Amino acid sequence: MKAASVAGLLLLALPLALSGTLSATDPVAIKIRDLTSVEGVRENPLIGYGMVVGLTRTGDSQQTVFTTQTLANIMQRMGAQIPPLTARVANVASVFVTASLPAFARPGTQVDVTVSSIGDAKSLEGGLLLLTPLYGADGQVYAAAQGPVAVGGYAVGGAGASKQLNHPTVGRIPAGGRVERSLAFDFNRLALLSLLLREPDFSTAGDISTAINREFGHAVASARDGGRVEVDPAATGLQNLTALLARIENLTVPVQRRARVVVNERTGTIVMGKDVRLGAVSILHGGFSVQISTEYSVSQPAPLSSGKTEVVGDTELKTKDSPAKRLEIGEGASIDQLVNGLQNMGATARDVISILQAIKAAGALDADLEVI
């Protein structure tokens, strides 16, 4: 059976307001440390190739060539010489190990690591990651990982039946990595302190520089653009950048949150902020569906004839056109009013996504519409 559906949608922008206008949302006081990050102070990704052992016949199959080669190489380093083709790998699995090297990490710092199967293993449950070096983008070893793998799921099966919970081929090792090399970065030698806004905004950048200058009593900071605020450490009179940054991070800045609607078309998820407002709009929504079904039957020839047995298909076509439903939204209406109205219309999550995109195109959505 095959089915196709076409949804109809009509939006009419209303020139007159149907309700009173709404005042702007009051700004929220947020600390600078929650709005910015310091340029140069960041995490660095690490990656390594390793092997998980101790599985209960849920590891890679014999056809995973790199697993057998890796197992043979490990055994050779341990003093046991075995041919790679004779190695049985049902209880082992080749994995990629990833982690993040924190800023200011020193040798001995523990980090969490993630273990992901790269072969055809069914599950990493109960496995143990062997000692694995973790490399940075420059090819240098910065950490080493080892330990039991924690998997938030399982996969069991046999005799044609199987059951799987969550994703058993990816696991984590809390504090399973240990930093072996630190980054050559001296924070206190920075001649200029740059604060990078996590969400660039010209108003917020100006408010941050104003708050810093007010704290020190004279101009020590300037907003270069909507995403960067530069601070001159020499002008502050503080020689220790750590103490300077600690003083700056605790300052509060009034922030006007941006209205935003985030839509995930793959899952049908819609996240809308409470401060999103709508313009006057009229929504007409209806659906036209087409359903095509085919039933097959066997046609037998007459006795003693030269005919052949044929499979004949009987195709049936059905169409359904539902009447359009109407919803009117007044000027300054909230998201709650829109959602309640669409639910009364019987609109699904997919319908709401199409309606929101059409409302934005009609100029009646006072928010940024982001599709991910």
Nearest by Cα to 103 from 42, 193, 184:
42
- Taking only the tens place, the pLDDT of each residue in 201-251 is 899 999 999 999 999 999 999 999 999 999 999 898 888 888 999 999 999
CB 352 within 8 A of CB 270: yes
pLDDT band at 287 (very low <50, low <70, confident <90, very high): low
CB 152 within 8 A of CB 169: no
Measure the CA–CA gap between 134 and 14, rounded to whole angstroms: 60
Listing DSSP states for 153-207 in one string gives -EEEEETTEEEEES-TTEEEEEEEEEE-S-----GGG-SSEEEEESS--HHHHHH
Listing DSSP states for 32-64 in one string gives GGGTEEETT---EEEEEEEEEE--SS-S--TT-
What does the pLDDT read at residue 18?
A: 32
- Taking only the tens place, the pLDDT of each residue in 11-33 is 443 333 333 333 445 678 899 99
3-state secondary structure of 366: strand
- Taking only the tens place, the pLDDT of each residue in 152-179 is 776 666 656 666 667 889 999 999 999 9
Nearest by Cα to 334 from 363, 367, 357:
367
What does the pLDDT read at residue 291?
A: 58
Average pLDDT over residues 1-10: 41
Query: Dihedral of CA 273/274/276/278: which sign?
Result: positive
What does the pLDDT read at residue 134?
A: 97
Q: Tell me: pLDDT of 186 over 80.
A: no
Domain ranges (residues) in the chain: 2-25+261-299+308-371, 44-179, 187-255
* pTM for this prediction: 0.66
What does the pLDDT read at residue 8?
A: 44
